[in-house]
Amino acid sequence: MFDKMTFKVIINAELEAVNIAKINDLQKWENGNIVRYENKETYKLTGIMISIAKNKVQVKCSLHKLFYKWTCGTLENSGLFTITEARRALYTLFDKIGLEAERARITYFEIGLNIPTEHEPIQYIELIKSITTGKASTITKEMFNDANFRKNRQKTTEKIKTIKKYFKVYDKGFEMADRKRTEPTGEKILRIETVYRRQSVYVTDFFEPDNISRSTRAFYKDWAGVEFERKVTADIGIKESEKEKAKNILLLGRENYLQTAKTDLQDGKITEKQYRIIREFVRDWDTNKHKYRMLPTEHETEYKEKLYNLFELAKH
């Protein structure tokens, strides 16, 4: 379930920095008295970015991609990735780079899940409106289109610098093709992720069973709280225009819907007649509301079922 991570390790002396640089084939850069080691030129081949400055080592990678590179030969993260596999990948990583994992602090991490879908992922993303989070599930965060992607290929909650935790959902197949500059392969995978920034926790504490349990439970609870746009069904003979009015009442509430209609009238977006019809529909809502039902789409039903089943597999 864990994907991208950033680690920091405090080292003791220049000799240790030289040894780590040698093991990992890092380039040395000097600017006056400042010495830096890094592998920006070659990290795409290994999947591990390492930099050393002063007495600090920073390591950036995707545990998911590394695990698949070491087991299948490719840097990919489109399949299922369990907690057990993440733990194995992490300790293998530190063995390979020549540092003890116990010395490392995690400063950034992502926890996510790949969900194969029946329909194109863009359809699910378009329907997703918000996510409810918080200890008592009382905080609703709107999900916005990410301007760095085409419309409805990725949505995120607000992610300004002061926010330590944010959420994103995206079309994994599109993202992989965009990254490789190739045509999409047709894989239909919806990727959901919770991103944690500005963290500071030792690896050993992070992978304690209680902490892993808290993190994974929070992930599931948050993503089970996604709000999808829903469809309105009605009794036979009800007009589509009436269904739309019923949908507005069910989503906005009667007072808010009527106030929106008043504003549209003032702005010239609707006529006096259209406003009067809306006002009368709102007035008679209590009498007629039994004729309308707000139901989940097949996309929402599929998402929630697969979220539960895949989470149960990945959390071990």
Q: What is the pLDDT at residue 80? A: 95
pLDDT band, residue 237 (cuts 50/70/90): very high
Q: Provide the pLDDT confidence category of residue 136 given band limits of 50, 70 and 90.
A: confident
pLDDT digit string (tens) for 214-227?
999 999 999 999 99
Q: Tell me, what's the pLDDT at 13?
A: 78
pTM of the model: 0.88
56-76 as b/e: b if 16+ CB within 10 A:
ebebbbbbbbbbbbeeeeebe
Name the one residue in this structure whose structure tokens are 């530190």.
94
pLDDT > 70? residue 181: no
Q: H helices then E strands: how many in the chain?
A: 13, 16
* CB 167 within 8 Å of CB 191: no
* Confidence (pLDDT) at 126: 97
Question: How much is the pLDDT for 130?
Answer: 96
Closest CA to 68 of 79, 52, 58, 57: 79
Q: How far apart are CA 311 and CA 106, in angstroms?
A: 23
Would you state the pLDDT for residue 300?
Answer: 97
Residue 234: pLDDT band by 50, 70, 90 thresholds?
A: very high
- Residue 187's pLDDT is 86
In tens, the pLDDT along 46-104 reads 999 999 998 899 999 999 999 999 999 999 999 999 999 999 999 999 999 999 999 99
The average pLDDT across 133-147 equals 89
pLDDT, tens only, 285-302: 999 999 999 999 999 999
pLDDT in tens, 184-206: 677 899 999 999 999 999 999 99
Name the least confident of 121-130, 145-154, 162-171.
145-154
Is the per-residue pLDDT at 15 higher than 90?
no
pLDDT given for residue 93 in this prediction: 97
| Greatest C-alpha distance within the chain | 82
Sign of the Cα pseudo-torsion (170, 304, 137, 2, in order): negative
Confidence of residue 134 (pLDDT cuts 50, 70, 90): confident
How many CB atoms neighbour CB 51 within 10 A?
A: 17
The per-residue pLDDT of the chain, averaged, comes to 93
